Structure 1
């Protein structure tokens, strides 16, 4: 498919944003757990 459809692009962008958000949450949770263990 060479036709660029805005809807598919929007869904792919939202899926990518959700993946980035999940990775960020995992990193923040790991950092908090490490800081709690260090304290």
Structure 2
């Protein structure tokens, strides 16, 4: 999808019918406690 400008209002036709979204993913991974200690 093309980038959209951020405006003061939103209108419902920003995303067109049939638009496919990608698979949801976590933004961060879990840090194992033993790694947290190692990295300190």
Higher relative contact order (CA 8 A, sep 6+): 2
Larger fraction in helix: 1
| TM-score in same-fold range (> 0.5) | no
Rg (Cα) greater in structure: 2
TM-score (norm 2): 0.23
TM-score (norm 1): 0.23
